[in-house]
Chains A and B, each alone.
Chain A
Amino acid sequence: MSRAMRPDGEPAFFADYVAAGGYEGLARVLRELQPQDVTQAVVDSGLRGRGGAGYATGRKWSTMPVVADAPHPKYVACNGDEMEPGSIKDRYLLGRNPHLLVEGMIVAAYAVQADAGYIFLRAQYDHPYACLERALAEARAAGYLGDRIMGSDFSFEIYLHESIGRYICGEASAMLNALESLRPNPRARPPHMTGAGLFSRPTVVNNVESYAAVPGIARNGAAWWKSLSASPEGGTKIYGVSGRVAKPGCLELPLGTSLRELIEVHAGGMLPGYRLRAVVPGGASTAFVPAADIDVAMDFESLAHVGSRMGTGTPVLLDDQTCPIGMTLNMLQFFAQESCGWCTPCREGLQWSAALLRDIEEGRGRMEDLDLLAEQVWFMGPDKTFCDLAPGAMQPLEAALRLFRDDFVAHIESGACPYSRGGSEVPVEEGATWAEPEPPAGPPEPPAAPLAPAGGAGR
């Protein structure tokens, strides 16, 4: 996926991309393969979705109707709503190699015989947006998009759509609502999106990085993709490391590279004076992995064995001088704020969990609160809410209660946060119901509500 990337860090556009073998996969597919063969190649590659859930990409495609009398139009949609805290890989891919997504989507569209594609991009991705806009124009000019692509009888167009904001739009079915300009609540399933998705038409939704893996598989085959891996799961992964390390950033590596190698070799190790405490391996909805377990391979199965998930595969590190409870509170507050409010356990439960956690962090906690929090983890577990937002929010909380018990007790017994980074530094959003507002210094002013309703808190 990094082949065409320029060493100077500038985006690789058409000339760079083609020089690195770009659009050869598409040419081969249109020349040699039936649509079902393309889907079969993706099935054989073992590619699993890179957006967080890890669903088998080829299996998803194979549920699209491709028979002669299949309903049209059909759609392919790309989830580029990279908003889960800690996730930095799609920005990297799109800013460095935007044609990869374009080619991946065209190949996918051929495989499922789609008529149009949408790239749903989060609002703050101005640079990726500009890169994609140019890549799409170049692809159109070269005849890779539009009517009768490369002389075949396959026609396809891609549209860019910028989000109006909010994390829930990254939930695939909520994203379809957002694309239709409906209120972006998640949809009930069934029906599945490949049966009735965007505009009630058969739709495949994949993450940016999932599509980005497709051109290589199209060009070199499933066996090649599998051989790149350090794991039986096959292929490569865009990993990204953030936190107090020497060289934070993104890098493509064999899937299954160990967390230790990522941190100590590729990210240059911890900064002097800091020790690693735990890792959030793939976004705020993945459970902390303790420092003792960092020999784990960063793949789907191995991370499950240490009680966590691959998620987006972009670890954020917790160091020994940052309050683990403050960090967990920050994550929980994110989910509470970004809940769409559609179902009660998520809308109410996340607010309450954050309030309990804030009490503990700020020295007002009681030992019973730990039991209450554990109950919330159960109440908002898998299959008890309308979508996966609340269960995702519970993953770091569950891990924190398990791994940082001593810290919780220390906060409660001493009535304060013992860390320099934590406590009063936790951001408090305007209008939050659980925090006492600080008395304003000087003459009283009218209360300032946020211009943009970033928070659902207190609303």
Chain B
Amino acid sequence: MSLTDEERQALEELLPHYPDRRAAAASAMHAVQQHRRWLSDDALADVGEFLGMSVEELDSLATFGNMLFRRPVGRHVILVCDSFACWSLGYAELRAALEARLGVRMGETTADDRFTLLPIVCLGACDRGPALMVDADLHGPLAPGDVPGVLEAYA
């Protein structure tokens, strides 16, 4: 596999932001992930070829950041805040409702590839706790009973 024209263009647009190509690595992996959902070994090889970096160099960064996915994820990623404000406001009940509704546990993807459920640290939305994000959307405060309604919007 190699970069699509669209991906290549996205990466070209990033390069002027940085004084050298290698410094664009994090943003480049982000950009490719937006097109492919997750970063396979092939994806890293494609980015590496573009930037003149080895897969290993990229992987050392990709495995450090928890928002670069090195395993497949579903069409929608749910990030459930488990930090202390949300924890004290009903995180456990919210998590249980999500796991029951989706039939998966934290770290897993639904069989229909629709949702991946992941833990996340504080979302900066303690005033809306317990909170979660689905893709780019912040939701909260949520009672366990709100879960079906929230998930419905994501096909």
Residues of A within 8 A of B (CB): 73, 82-88, 90-91, 122-127, 159, 161-167, 178-184, 199, 240-244, 248-250, 280, 284, 314, 316, 318-319, 322, 326-327, 330-331, 334, 337-338, 421, 425-427, 429-430, 448-455
A-B contact number at CB 8 A: 181
Number of chain B residues close to chain A: CB under 8 A: 60
Whether A83 pairs with B84 at a CB distance below 8 angstroms is: no
Q: Which 8 A-B pairs have the closest CB atoms?
A: A164-B65, A242-B126, A126-B136, A85-B83, A181-B25, A165-B67, A85-B122, A248-B127
Residues of B within 8 A of A86 (CB): 83-85, 122, 126
For A83, list chain B residues within 8 Å (CB).
Answer: 121-122, 124
Give per-residue flags for B101-131: 1 if the beta carbon is below 8 A from chain A beta carbons, else 0. Answer: 0000111110000001011111111111100
Residues of A contacting B116 with CB < 8 Å?
A: 451
30 contacts between A and B (CB under 8 A): A85-B83, A85-B122, A86-B126, A87-B126, A90-B124, A91-B124, A91-B125, A124-B79, A124-B123, A127-B136, A161-B17, A161-B26, A163-B26, A164-B64, A181-B27, A183-B64, A184-B64, A199-B23, A240-B126, A248-B128, A284-B84, A316-B88, A330-B82, A334-B83, A338-B121, A421-B88, A426-B87, A430-B107, A449-B107, A450-B119
Answer whether A165 and B68 are a contact pair too, CB < 8 Å, given A91-B125, A448-B105: yes
Residues of A within 8 A of B70 (CB): 451
Separation in Å of the B117 CB from the closest CB of chain A? 9
Query: Across the interface, do B82 and A166 meet the contact criterion of CB distance under 8 Å?
Result: no
Closest to B84 in A: A330
> B23 touching A166 by the CB < 8 A rule?
no
A248 to B138, CA, bound (A): 16
A450 in contact with B106 given A124-B123, A183-B60 (CB within 8 Å): yes
A334 touches B121 (CB 8 A): yes
Note all chain A residues with C-beta closer than 8 A to B73. 451
Least distance between B99 CB and chain A CB atoms (Å):
12
Contact (A88, B67) CB under 8 Å given A322-B88, A448-B108: no
Q: Are B66 and A88 interface neighbours, CB within 8 A? A: no
Contacts of A178 in B (CB 8 A): 26
Which B residues fall within an 8 A CB radius of A?
17, 19-20, 22-27, 29-30, 38, 60-73, 79, 82-85, 87-89, 91-92, 95, 105-109, 116, 118-129, 133, 135-138
Partner of A164, one of B23, B68, B135: B68
Return chain A residues, CB-CB under 8 Å to B69. 451-452
Q: Which residue of A248, A427, A453 contacts B87 across the interface (Cβ within 8 Å)?
A: A427
CB distance from B71 to the nearest CB of A (A): 5
A166-B65, A183-B64 known; A454 and B124 CB under 8 Å?
Answer: no
**Extra pairs beyond A334-B121, A452-B67 (16, CB < 8 Å):** A73-B19, A83-B121, A83-B122, A86-B122, A86-B126, A88-B127, A90-B124, A91-B125, A125-B124, A161-B26, A178-B26, A199-B20, A327-B87, A448-B108, A451-B107, A454-B120
Kindly list chain A residues whose C-beta atoms are within 8 Å of the C-beta of B68. 164-165, 452
Distance in angstroms from A20 CB to nearest chain B CB is: 24
Given contacts A162-B30, A181-B26, A451-B69, whether A88 and B136 have CB atoms under 8 Å apart is no
Nearest B residue to A162 by beta-carbon distance? B30
In Å, the complex CA distance between A334 and B91 comes to 15
Instruction: Tell me whether B61 and A183 are in contact (CB under 8 A).
Output: yes
Contact B67 A163 (CB under 8 A): yes
Q: Which residue of B lies closest to A447 (CB)?
A: B107
Residues of A within 8 A of B127 (CB): 88, 240-242, 248-250
CA gap between A161 and B26 in the complex, in Å: 9
Instruction: Give min CB distance, A5 to chain B, whole Å.
Output: 16
Closest to A454 in B: B66
CB closest residue in chain A, given B68: A164
Knowing A164-B64, A243-B89 touch, does A334 contact B124 (C-beta < 8 A)? no
